[in-house]
């Protein structure tokens, strides 16, 4: 994994949490997408939470990765939320309209 990006994970009561840190860009995409795919394939997981509190940078590739993860969750019929975005990362997500999409429940389209 790139030195500029980290993933920690935890799991409890059917909820998998992925704690991302550093730069969410093109180099991070394979690791995030692969881990999300594996967690969504796990029958014991009903909800996936992606914690963005440690993300210091996000570009269009990172946004695309998060949208792709949301689409995977929708197809799996599972809930996915991204939480904790701060500073520039939160502003980028909100300016692009992706923040609302990622904060909502996968089975409930945003208003």
Which domains are delineated in the chain?
Answer: 5-103 (3.30.750.24)
Contact by Cβ (8 Å): 58, 27: no
Interval 38-57: pLDDT, tens: 999 999 999 999 999 999 99
Question: Which pLDDT belongs to residue 109?
Answer: 40
- Phi, psi dihedral angles at 65 (to 5 degrees): -65, -45
Return the higher-pLDDT residue of 105 and 84. 84
User: Residue 61: is its pLDDT beyond 60?
Assistant: yes
C-alpha 98/C-alpha 92 separation (Å) is 8
C-alpha 69/C-alpha 44 separation (Å) is 18
Provide mean pLDDT across the span 77-101: 93
- Using alpha carbons only, give the angle 90, 94, 99 rounded to the nearest 5 degrees: 85
Q: How confident is the model at residue 103 (pLDDT cuts 50, 70, 90)?
A: confident
Contact by Cβ (8 Å): 96, 63: yes
């Amino acid at each position: 994994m790139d030195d500029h990006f980290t993933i920690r994970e935890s799991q409890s009561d059917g909820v998998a949490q992925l704690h991302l840190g550093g730069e969410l860009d093109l180099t991070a995409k394979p690791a995030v997408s692969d881990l999300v795919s594996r967690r969504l394939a796990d029958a014991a997981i009903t909800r996936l939470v992606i914690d963005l509190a440690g993300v210091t940078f996000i570009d269009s590739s990172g946004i695309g990765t998060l949208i792709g993860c949301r689409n995977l969750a929708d197809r799996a019929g599972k809930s996915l939320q991204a939480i904790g975005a701060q500073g520039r990362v939160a502003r980028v997500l909100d300016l692009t309209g992706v923040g609302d999409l990622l904060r909502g429940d996968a089975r409930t389209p945003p208003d």
